[in-house]
Amino acid sequence: MRSQSVSFEGKVISLVQAEIRLVEQISDQLAELEITEILMATSLQETKNLEQECRFDFALLDVNLPNGETIEELGSDLAAEGLPVVLFSDFNASDCGHIVRTYEILQKPLSTTRFSESMRKALDRVSAPNNGHDGQKK
């Protein structure tokens, strides 16, 4: 694990969060990391639309979307494109099964420090050799 500091200044984040009440809290925490451009989506379809229309540097995905939507396929697609992906959930990471091996999992309640650590680990994960993608972004 790296101990060096990583700057997130100027990064564009795709945030998938169905609970609007948490969006402001998360936005404030990301602003503390100097992230000011957040592309918000509340469903998988909105996220897919954003992915086609915009370029972003990180994906923060809530595991608990309404209507039984699952983020695993979306997360997999984004990771394959070389994007760092962080999932967050009300559940303990060990309760998230096999996705723990694929993504960084952040358990609620969320904090700036925990976002920073998880995002750094996700960045390390996609930067590692032999990670299954070519490292190119759209």
Instruction: Give the tens place of pLDDT for each residue, 31-50.
Output: 999 998 999 998 888 988 99
Under 8 Å between Cβ of 9 and 132 = no
In tens, the pLDDT along 54-68 reads 999 999 988 878 777
DSSP 80-132: HTT--EEEEESS-GGGGGGGGGTSEEEESSP-HHHHHHHHHHHHHHHHSTTSS
Whole-prediction pTM: 0.80
Under 8 Å between Cβ of 29 and 115 = yes
